[in-house]
Amino acid sequence: MSVRQLIIAALFAVIGAVSAQAADLAARIGAPLEVAGVAVRRPGRARAVAVDPGLITTDAMALVSRDDVDIVVEVIGGIEPARSLLLTALRARKAVVTANKALLAEDGMTLHSAARSAGADLYYEASVAGAIPLLRPLRESLAGDAVHRVLGIVNGTTNYILDQMDTSGAGFADALEEAQALGYAEADPTADVEGFDAAAKAAILAQLAFHTPVSAADVHREGITWVTPGDIASARALGHVVKLLAICERGNGGVSVRVHPAMIPRSHPLAGVREAYNAVFVEAESAGRLMFYGAGAGGVPTASAVLGDIVAVARNRLAGTRGPDATTYADLPALPMGQARTRYHIALDVADKPGVLARVAEAFARHDVSIQAVRQEGRGDDAQLVIVTHTAPDAALASCVTDLDTMDVVRAVASVMRVEGESDE
Amino acid sequence: MSVRQLIIAALFAVIGAVSAQAADLAARIGAPLEVAGVAVRRPGRARAVAVDPGLITTDAMALVSRDDVDIVVEVIGGIEPARSLLLTALRARKAVVTANKALLAEDGMTLHSAARSAGADLYYEASVAGAIPLLRPLRESLAGDAVHRVLGIVNGTTNYILDQMDTSGAGFADALEEAQALGYAEADPTADVEGFDAAAKAAILAQLAFHTPVSAADVHREGITWVTPGDIASARALGHVVKLLAICERGNGGVSVRVHPAMIPRSHPLAGVREAYNAVFVEAESAGRLMFYGAGAGGVPTASAVLGDIVAVARNRLAGTRGPDATTYADLPALPMGQARTRYHIALDVADKPGVLARVAEAFARHDVSIQAVRQEGRGDDAQLVIVTHTAPDAALASCVTDLDTMDVVRAVASVMRVEGESDE
């Protein structure tokens, strides 16, 4: 028996790997893989991987509708036409392998529901953290466990920029420019540096970790463009490092999913994730603290993840079964950011005179925010008050900062950043 | 349909979890799990988890031979009677879930072969690195990739001891005593500190990474008892840290599997693995560098891994299929330690006088070992020459050290340790 496979391709590395490793893949799957067709937008374009011209078509919909196709591999990205193509494939009981994080984040539940109704597989390991085997462990190995929290560095571009700022003292603009020169950042870096890419991945992680519908619109998102060398230096003084984190938490009767820069202790396993690497840190009831680390992007790692999924769904297909259902069986509300519980690091430019600390402390007390540590740096007119709070609702912390900003003893709120990755008691 | 399950138990946490999470497990599996029996050595013993006394038996062989049992879960450890019980179970086409690293390392190929012949599942995620989902990614997600090297911190006790030596400057004996007081080390710590535990896990990792038979006897093994505060300080001076590594490499027409202390750069992701945590670093052709991090031991993490395996084999059972075959399809020889390629860090107590470096360098040249860096520390009679080599066969490095030891300009070979985890070019 042969599993016929359809590739809707932008990622020719997948096609290259399928033919280069044909014998090995057949041994692992138990039957040969056959490429039934490749849909492309520009059929005449020169490509690094040779594909039989007879397999190439521009009519993707006709290809996914063919009766002789078992598996549809989608790597074109974007919402449409990917969504229509994949829904057509799933409804026709074809297995789907995709790397499309935008689609899964925006409308994953529609895809999952179509897959479940049809009894078809929907695999998407490549959509988050590239080649790191991450979604499968969340979906399978931790199936008997309860995940409390996921902290992820899921965007390599921003990690590279923040790592550069930390090691060289560069400002954001210079670090971005270097990342662009090295190919780590796009000419238009908005999707990365404003956190859109990380937010889509956070939604997918939350769906899988908590078995509940979460879409990109539910994710609170802040990018890294406002992070200054001063913030990085403040983090360093605290023994921390600044990372753009995707945070998924369960609690207060719902889930909180957010993407923002945060200070984490240098002793935290995520702090050692350098350059453009990705890592996802999971806290689960039984398994404890786990971390998955690796290359987050790039054609070859992505192809590796897609290939692993193809092997899995092809094996399921041959066995007449499908993988564990990754879809919803809880229906937890996504909580607004104001209800997320976090800690703040706040640096205030103040006048160094008696009574300032009392006035500032009073403001925190008014908002029911408890202070963990205060440190004064500098003297006289250059004094800075550095405050780290205990955990409190984000809304209380934010309105406390708003208040501080209007106080006459506070010249300026120099830096505000959330602190994550450690218990505060 | 109900999947009947047999537990040969020492780890009652598994039974506790199966009953506590019955509804959730049934939803994930698609059928309820039923505990068919529990074999124990001492039926009258008080236990933390309540088990129906009618299920308890001392006749494990009768239990694994019962027709109405689908899955055998073995957590007793050791070679016999575990091997006979599991072979009986596999030959009767029952799925096996085990945490038995000693048995898999010594005789994994016999078990795999019985599983393959019978078409039965053999899962053992808990045998290496506790709850870290590691074997499944090696077996499934990286199924389409070629693994070049695995570097693992797979023994929590020795990592705790080395971490203590690094952070507090303690000697081995004091750090061991502290580890024992905290319950991280056994009263008889031999299996951990002499590297036996890590060697068994290295064999299992090599089997899965390279799809080839490797047994514990093929693993070169050195413990950490000879590591001194001086070695730790030397590593620190080099910007490195000392870890007990399980190293599996493919090359030179075979596989090299070894366990020994080694210096790794502090910037390496494994360097940040603190306390009793475990982590396994994988270098693969397509996926690149990956790392899996988490708790390596403990009843609850182990139970979590066993439970994940139970869910997987139960699902396979219901679908009438089995998981990907993890057994041999290469038959690569295990290379002797002398052929392993590594680098040495060597500290020599020498007299600070002209001509010493020339004589020492000559010795390296005689053994065809290339020197990457030399540093002299101290002066006069207290001079120490610190040498880091380029990569060379271990046999050449070892005989070079033997030569150095007999040279009159060398007062003593103060420290010799391998250096891993970075390219040396």
Using alpha carbons only, give the angle B124, B127, B130 rounded to the nearest 5 degrees: 110
Give the Cα separation of B199 and B220 in Å (integer). 8
pLDDT band at A344 (very low <50, low <70, confident <90, very high): very high
B143 phi, psi to nearest 5 deg: -60, -30
Give the Cα separation of B331 and B329 in Å (integer). 7
pLDDT at B352 exceeding the cut of 70: yes
Asked if A234 and A378 sit in the same domain, the reply is: no
Mutation choice for B interface testing from A15, A19, A97, A140 by most B CBs within 10 A:
A140
Mean pLDDT computed over A117-137: 87
B14 touching A, CB under 8 A? no
A11 phi, psi to nearest 5 deg: -95, 90
Q: Out of B137, B271, B288, name the one closest to residue A133 (CB).
A: B137
Q: Is residue A333 part of a domain?
A: no
Give the Cα separation of B69 and B319 in Å (integer). 16
Cross-chain residue pair A304–B287, CB shorter than 8 Å:
yes
Q: Which residues does chain A have within 8 Å of residue B301's beta carbon, measured at their own beta carbons?
A: 286-288
A295 touching B, CB under 8 A? yes
pLDDT at B327: 53
pLDDT at B8: 65
Q: Out of B131, B290, B311, name the one closest to residue A293 (CB).
A: B290
B309 phi, psi to nearest 5 deg: -65, -40
Asked if the peptide bond before residue A324 counts as cis, ω within 30 degrees of 0, the response is no
Q: Give bridge partners of residue A416 from the DSSP assignment.
A: A346
Asked if A14 and A57 sit in the same domain, the reply is: yes
Q: Can you give the C-alpha Rg of chain A in angstroms?
A: 24
Average pLDDT for chain A: 89
**Which tokens sit at B211?**
């799809």
pLDDT at A156 exceeding the cut of 90: yes
Q: What is the DSSP letter of A131?
A: T
For B125-257, where are the alpha helices, taking DSSP H only? 135-139, 156-168, 172-181, 190-193, 196-210, 229-237
Q: Out of A131, A288, A311, name the one closest to residue B295 (CB).
A: A288
Residue A278: closest CA among A417, A134, A149: A134
Q: Is residue B330 part of a domain?
A: no
Q: How many CB pairs (< 8 A) connect A and B?
A: 180
What's the CATH code of the domain at A351? 3.30.70.260
Q: How many residues does chain A have?
A: 425
Asked if A144 and A286 sit in the same domain, the reply is: yes
Task: Report the SS3 class of residue A90.
Answer: helix
Mean pLDDT computed over B79-87: 95
| Closest CA–CA distance from residue A330 to any residue of chain B (Å) | 11
Q: Can you give the C-alpha Rg of chain B in angstroms?
A: 24
Asked if B64 and B107 sit in the same domain, the reply is: yes
pLDDT at B425: 41
- B13-22 burial, b at 16+ Cβ within 10 Å, e below that, comes to bbbbbbeebe
Q: Is residue B348 part of a domain?
A: yes
Q: Taking the alpha carbons of B28, B34, B39, B40 in that order, is the dihedral positive or negative? A: positive
Q: Is residue A329 part of a domain?
A: no
For A282-350, where are the alpha helices, taking DSSP H only? 299-319
Q: Give bridge partners of residue A347 from the DSSP assignment.
A: A386, A415
**Which tokens sit at B214?**
């490797």
Cross-chain residue pair A294–B290, CB shorter than 8 Å:
yes
| Closest CA–CA distance from residue A333 to any residue of chain B (Å) | 20
Angle between helices A101-118 and A196-210 (to 10 degrees): 30
Cross-chain residue pair A136–B131, CB shorter than 8 Å:
no
Least confident stretch, A410-424, B107-121, B167-181, B313-327: B313-327
**pLDDT tens digit string along B5-42?**
666 655 667 787 788 878 878 877 888 888 888 888 88
A17 touching B, CB under 8 A? yes
Which chain B residue shows the shortest CA-CA distance from A318?
B321
Strands A254-265 and B71-74: unpaired
Q: Is residue B324 part of a domain?
A: no
B292 touching A, CB under 8 A? yes
Residues 105-144 of A with CB under 8 A from B: 125, 131-133, 136-137, 140-144
Q: Of residues B94, B101, B201, B243, which has the active-site annotation?
A: B201
Whether residue A28 contacts residue A337, with contact meaning beta carbons closer than 8 Å, is answered with no
Give the Cα separation of B337 and B217 in Å (integer). 12
pLDDT band at A52 (very low <50, low <70, confident <90, very high): confident
Q: Which residues does chain A have within 8 Å of residue B307's beta carbon, measured at their own beta carbons?
A: 144-145, 286
Q: Is residue B140 part of a domain?
A: no
Mutation choice for B interface testing from A128, A286, A302 by most B CBs within 10 A:
A286
Q: Which residues does chain B have within 8 Å of residue A25's beta carbon, measured at their own beta carbons?
A: 144
The H or E element containing residue A298 is none
Q: Is residue B331 part of a domain?
A: no
Asked if A118 and A189 sit in the same domain, the reply is: no
Asked if B195 and B285 sit in the same domain, the reply is: yes
Asked if A283 and A146 sit in the same domain, the reply is: yes
Whether residue B63 contacts residue B85, with contact meaning beta carbons closer than 8 Å, is answered with no
Cross-chain residue pair B273–A269, CB shorter than 8 Å:
yes
Residue B339: closest CA among B396, B264, B401, B403: B396
A290 touching B, CB under 8 A? yes
Asked if A111 and A170 sit in the same domain, the reply is: no
**Which tokens sit at B114?**
């019985």
Cross-chain residue pair A319–B320, CB shorter than 8 Å:
yes
Mean pLDDT computed over A123-148: 82
**pLDDT tens digit string along A316-332?**
888 787 877 655 567 88
Cross-chain residue pair A286–B272, CB shorter than 8 Å:
no
Give A154's contacts (C-beta < 8 A, 6+ positions apart): A128, A129, A197, A198, A201, A202, A205, A246, A278, A280, A296
Mutation choice for B interface testing from A290, A306, A309, A310 by most B CBs within 10 A:
A290
**pLDDT tens digit string along B253-265?**
899 999 999 999 9
Q: Taking the alpha carbons of A185, A190, A194, A200 in that order, is the dihedral positive or negative? A: negative
Give the Cα separation of B122 and B175 in Å (integer). 38
| Closest CA–CA distance from residue B11 to any residue of chain A (Å) | 14
Mean pLDDT computed over A219-241: 95
Asked if B193 and B213 sit in the same domain, the reply is: yes
Residue A350 or residue A13, greater confidence: A350
What's the CATH code of the domain at B126? 3.40.50.720
Report how many domains make up chain B. Answer: 3
A349 phi, psi to nearest 5 deg: -80, 120
Asked if A146 and A102 sit in the same domain, the reply is: no
Looking at residue B299, its amino acid is G
pLDDT at B318: 84
**pLDDT tens digit string along B385-402?**
999 999 999 999 999 999
Indicate the burial class of A48 (C-beta count within 10 angstroms; 0-12, 13-18, 19 or more): exposed
Cross-chain residue pair B319–A324, CB shorter than 8 Å:
no
Whether residue A161 contacts residue B328, with contact meaning beta carbons closer than 8 Å, is answered with no
Give the Cα separation of B198 and A386 in Å (integer). 46
A294 touching B, CB under 8 A? yes
Which chain A residue shows the shortest CA-CA distance from B271?
A272
pLDDT at B73 exceeding the cut of 50: yes
Asked if A77 and A123 sit in the same domain, the reply is: yes
Cross-chain residue pair B269–A271, CB shorter than 8 Å:
no
DSSP B292-333: EEEE---HHHHHHHHHHHHHHHHHHHHHT--PPP-S-S--PP
The H or E element containing residue B150 is strand B147-153
Cross-chain residue pair B290–A17, CB shorter than 8 Å:
no
> Any idea which residues of A carry the catalytic annotation?
201
Q: Taking the alpha carbons of B154, B156, B161, B167 in that order, is the dihedral positive or negative? A: positive
pLDDT at B252: 85
Q: Out of A21, A289, A301, name the one closest to residue B294 (CB).
A: A289
Q: Which residues does chain B have within 8 Å of residue A279's beta carbon, measured at their own beta carbons?
A: 291
Mean pLDDT computed over B329-345: 89
Which chain B residue shows the shortest CA-CA distance from A22?
B144
The residue with tokens 């006709």 is A62
pLDDT at A17 exceeding the cut of 90: no
Q: Is residue B424 part of a domain?
A: no
Looking at residue B382, its amino acid is D
Residue A374 or residue B15, greater confidence: A374
Q: Give bridge partners of residue B281 from the DSSP assignment.
A: B151, B291
The residue range of the domain holding B211 is 145-294
Average pLDDT for chain B: 89
Residue B319 or residue A175, greater confidence: A175
Mean pLDDT computed over B361-377: 93
Residue A75: closest CA among A110, A125, A134: A125
pLDDT at B208: 87
pLDDT at A11: 63
Cross-chain residue pair B324–A301, CB shorter than 8 Å:
no
pLDDT at A425: 40
pLDDT at A228: 95
Percent of chain B with pLDDT over 90: 58
pLDDT at B315: 84
Asked if B245 and B182 sit in the same domain, the reply is: yes
What's the CATH code of the domain at B161? 3.30.360.10
Whether residue A29 contacts residue A58, with contact meaning beta carbons closer than 8 Å, is answered with no
B406 to B106, B349, B366, B387, B401: CA distances (angstroms): 39, 13, 14, 17, 9
The question of whether B201 is a catalytic residue gets the answer yes
Cross-chain residue pair B145–A304, CB shorter than 8 Å:
yes
Q: What is the DSSP letter of A118?
A: H
Which chain A residue shows the shortest CA-CA distance from B312?
A140
Q: Give bridge partners of residue A263 from the DSSP assignment.
A: A242, A419
Looking at residue B138, its amino acid is L
Q: What is the DSSP letter of B210?
A: H
